[in-house]
Amino acid sequence: MAQVSGFQKIYNIYVTNITLFVIAVGFVFGVFVESILRIGPSQAFFLFVLGGAIFLAQKIISKNDFADQKKFYVAIFLLSMALGSLRLTVALPQNFTLESFIDKKINIEGLIVEEEDRRESQTFLTVEVGRVGKVLDEKIISEIKKSRTKILVKTAEFQRFSYGDGVLIGGTLGKPKSFETKGGGEFDYASYLEKDGILYIVGKASVEKISEGGGSSVKRILFSVKNKFIDSLRKNINEPEVSLLSGLVVGGKQSLGKEWTERFQRTGVMHIVVLSGYNITIVASSVIKFFGIFLSSAASMFIGVLAIILFAIMTGGSATVVRATIMAIIALLARYTKRRYAVTRALIIAAVLMVVHNPLIVVFDPSFQLSFMATIALVYVSPLVESKAKFITEKFHVREIVVSTIATQIFVLPLLLHMTGNFSVVALPVNLLILGFIPLTMFYGFLAGMIGIVFSAIALPFAYLAYALLFYEMKIVELFSAVPFASFSLSVFPIWLVFITYALMIYGLYVWHSRKQLKNAKL
CA distances to 271, 323, 362, 366, 383 from 369, rounded to whole Å, are 13, 11, 7, 5, 22
pLDDT of residue 96: 66
Q: Which CATH number belongs to the domain containing residue 107 in this structure? A: 2.40.50.140
Mean pLDDT, the chain, integer: 84
For 129, the 3-state DSSP assignment is strand
Last residue of a domain, one of 91, 116, 138: 91
**Among 16, 18, 17, 86, which Cα is nearest to 51's?**
86
Residue 158 has pLDDT above 80, yes or no: no
pLDDT one-digit tens code per residue, 332-362: 888 778 787 788 888 899 999 999 999 999 9
CA distance 165 to 213: 6
Pair (210, 106) in one structural domain = yes
User: 359 and 87 in contact (C-beta within 8 Å)?
Assistant: yes
Q: Tell whether 86 and 28 lie within a shared domain.
A: yes
Are residues 83 and 149 located together in one domain of the fold?
A: no
pLDDT confidence of residue 10: 45
So what's the pLDDT on residue 112? 92
| Pair 210, 287 in one domain | no
Tell me what pLDDT residue 7 has: 46
Q: Is residue 62 part of a domain?
A: yes
pLDDT at residue 1 in the model = 44
What are the pLDDT digits (tens) for 372-421?
898 899 889 999 999 888 888 888 778 888 888 899 889 999 998 888 88
**82 and 105: one domain?**
no
Tell me how crowded residue 299 is: count the other CB atoms within 10 A of its CB: 12
The long-range contacts involving 137-145, CB below 8 angstroms and separated by at least 24 positions, are 140/97, 143/95, 143/97, 144/97, 144/98
Compute the residue count for the chain: 523
pLDDT in tens, 181-218: 665 667 888 888 989 889 899 988 899 999 988 888 99
pLDDT of residue 140: 60
Q: What is the pLDDT of residue 77?
A: 93
Shared domain check, 142 and 79 = no
Instruction: Spell out the long-range contacts of 310-314 with Cβ–Cβ below 8 A and sequence spacing 24 or more.
Output: 310/218, 310/222, 311/279, 311/280, 311/283, 312/280, 313/218, 313/219, 313/222, 314/222, 314/223, 314/225, 314/226, 314/250, 314/251
Residue 83 above 90 pLDDT?
Answer: yes
Q: Specify if 77 maps to a domain.
A: yes
Query: With the CA atoms of 213, 218, 223 and 228 taken in that order, what torsion angle do they form, in degrees rounded to the nearest 10?
Result: 90
**Would you give the distance in Å from CA 2 to the centre of its chain?**
47
Say whether pLDDT at 12 is over 60.
Answer: no
Supply the pLDDT for residue 183. 58
CA gap 455, 61 in Å, rounded: 76
Cα 279 from Cα 396, distance rounded (Å): 20
Residue 371 lies in a domain: no
Q: Which of 345, 508, 503 is nearest to 18 (CA)?
A: 345
**The last residue of a domain, from among 196, 215, 234:** 215
- Highest mean pLDDT range out of 149-163, 330-344, 456-470, 488-502? 456-470
Task: Report the amino acid identity of residue 20.
Answer: L
pTM: 0.86
Is there a contact between 199 and 175 (Cβ–Cβ < 8 Å)?
yes
Q: Please answer whether residues 171 and 98 qualify as being in contact, where contact means their C-beta atoms are separated by less than 8 angstroms.
A: no
pLDDT per residue over 471-507, tens digit each? Answer: 999 999 999 999 988 888 877 788 889 999 999 999 9
Note the pLDDT of residue 328. Answer: 85
- Single residue among 215, 242, 259 that ends a domain in this structure: 215
Q: Does 278 have pLDDT greater than 70?
A: no
Q: Report d(CA 346, CA 326) in Å as an integer.
A: 8
> Which residue did the predictor score with more confidence, 80 or 61?
80
State the residue range of the domain holding 157: 99-215
- 38-79 confidence digits (pLDDT tens): 888 888 899 999 988 888 877 776 555 555 677 888 889 999
Question: Mean pLDDT, to the nearest integer, of 311-335?
Answer: 85
Same domain for 57 and 117, yes or no, is: no
Residue type, 355: V
- Structurally, how many domains does the chain consist of? 3
pLDDT in tens, 98-146: 888 888 888 888 899 998 888 877 889 999 988 887 654 566 666 666 7
Helix, strand and coil in the chain, % to nearest 5: 65, 10, 25
